[in-house]
A and B are shown apart, each in its own frame.
Chain A
Amino acid sequence: MQLVSSFDQLEEALAVGDRTPILLGGELVYVSSDIDSIESVTNAESIADQYVQQPPRVAARGSATFAKDKARLFVAVQKAAILACSNYKNGIYLLADQYLAYGLSLKTNVIVIGGGVFNVESLNIEVFVFTGQKLVKTVERTSSNNGALVDAALQDIMQEFPEHAIHWCSPLPPPPFGELSRRMGFAEVGDAPLRSLVKRKVFSKAQTNVEPTGWLPAASLVLLGGAIFAAGAGLQWSNLTSARAEYKNEILGYEEAYQNSTQSLDLLRHRDYLLKTEAEHKERVQLIDLMLSHVAQVDGVIIEHIRFYDGDAANNQAIQSSFGLDGQGDDFSISIKVPIDEAAGSARDQAEPLLAELTHKTGMTIRVIDHSQSKLTIGKTDRHYWNYRLGGTTQ
């Protein structure tokens, strides 16, 4: 780290080519806490071109920052110095920024005294007065390194701020013995302010002293809010779009069927059921077969017809009348001829065991509806038959 207070020192430092940061102070930098004072420097005819106005620094911390007339440190840098340093790559800092940061960080009421050696015997003293974490005054004095002279140079400050602590900083040489150094609260802090450097950009073009209204940050806040809103709304919107796209994708080819979604599904289910279900007539065919096989076993029987009714027809008189029957509610009707057995007795008597056997074998309930007699002539023989009409239910 190299501290320079004059242009010659600066040139020398640059020439040395030591790759450490350079701190500008002394006559290269003009500082003031008072706007009028700095404007008089930068606007003055003779040296107007020589000092370049830098952006003002906020010189308050904590609650003091929000005060109406904010404390500020106005800074101007010698133009020639700026030009000389423009290519320096290892950092150009202003001593004043370091003292300012240091003083604000202390939080107590303090006078920070810094500066540098101007030439062999001459000290360039820069004084920063902080009250209530706010910079209230800056002065710049020159003096020889002699206790009495230093006291004289700073006497007015001493009297104005009797209770303030005093911090004596590098790159000033060790303080000469005097009233100043004997004062209560005097401390030699050395390079404490220079330990972590505060970097501010050094502008080669004059900056305005008026506080910026902060349009840019305000506008960015608005844009930020707008961006968050747009992003959020956009995100949800894209969720919606993709959900809709999914719908379009899924329904492709099925639009008609989905229009009557329940019906088209039901239709298929009904068809499936119909294909799976066994036809009702299958059982009927099996029953008629069963009856036929057992009736056919009756000795000498002649079967005229066996009829099993469709469930609907069993109660349907119209159907039954086409068959010429009157066994209402019956599931079947049978018409058979059985040879008369004299020994058995009447037609009903003969029918009884017959029916019992049939009932037992088929599991159906059978009864005689009516009977009659007939005669068949086969060759020369006459055969007599009982004609039975039977009916019943399958259960």
Chain B
Amino acid sequence: MMSNKQIVLGIGGLACLTFMLALPPVWSNIGEIVKRQAASNERLIEWKAAYQALLPVNQRWDKTFISLKEVPDQLSLTRVVNVEQYGLRIDTDRVTQVGSEEVLLNGMPVGLQKLCIGTGMQGLEMSSDNISNLRRGMQGLAARPDLELGTIEYAYVSGKDLKQPDTYVARVEGFCVRVRVSNEVAL
């Protein structure tokens, strides 16, 4: 038989021990959650770093492509293309919109729409007085990132029958302008 003091101390010690033994599972349980949160944090930080590194892309994007809102009709579209700056001529009255399509990369939309124009059955026709101007003009057009050109034809049209000077003509099938459409996914 133990003395009162020993019994009381024993109970106290037992309670103390119980508390201390209760700690490890609580510690590891919360610890697990902390670990998961830490892993989640790491993923977030990694993603954020990659994202921030790529954000300047959006600025270049906005500069390269005009917004859809700015080209409500084919006239404004033609003006945006502005073949004249390359020394080419185009009959604006004959320009019509032949289609529009979403631009996909690897099957994923990138926030671009392509608006295609033509001047008749054989795509978009542009002309110039001499072949070198035509070639130079076409090279200028080809360098633009906001245009898509499909099949290209250079042809010589004799003006003899129409009592007009000879012209050199470039016909582009699938001549499309890429425009930005609003896309809420990116910031």
* A binding-site residues for B, Cβ under 8 Å: 66, 68, 70, 211-215, 217-222, 224-226, 228-229, 232-233, 236-237, 239-240, 243-244, 246-247, 250-251, 253-254, 256-258, 260-261, 263-275, 279, 281-282, 284-285, 288-289, 292, 296, 302-310, 312-313, 319, 322-323
Contact = CB atoms under 8 A, between A and B. Distances in A.
Given A240-B33, A268-B57, A319-B173, A310 B150 contact: yes
Contact of B152 (A237, A251, A269, A284): A284
Contacts of A308: 151-153
B31 A257 contact: no
A328 B164 CA distance: 35
A256 B184 CA distance: 9
Q: Mostly helix, strand, loop or mixed at chain A's interface? A: helix
B19 A225 contact: yes
Contact of A284 (B50, B58, B147, B149): B149
B12 A219 contact: yes
B92 interface: no
Contacts of B61: 271, 275
Given A215-B8, A222-B12, A266-B108, A307 B152 contact: yes
Contacts of A237: 30
Contact of A265 (B2, B27, B54): B54
A322 B15 contact: no
Given A236-B26, A285-B142, A304 B151 contact: no
Contact of B58 (A217, A225, A268): A268
A269 B186 CA distance: 11
A305 B5 CA distance: 115
Contacts of B41: 243, 246-247, 250
Contacts of A218: 8-9, 11-13
Given A228-B20, A247-B37, A279-B148, A268 B186 contact: yes
A215 B156 CA distance: 113
B85 interface: no
B110 A229 contact: no
A270 B110 contact: yes
A212, A232, A292: residue with the most chain B Cβ atoms closer than 10 Å: A232
Given A268-B57, A275-B64, A279-B142, A222 B152 contact: no
B162 interface: no
B34, B121, B148: residue with the most chain A Cβ atoms closer than 10 Å: B34
A5 B115 CA distance: 119
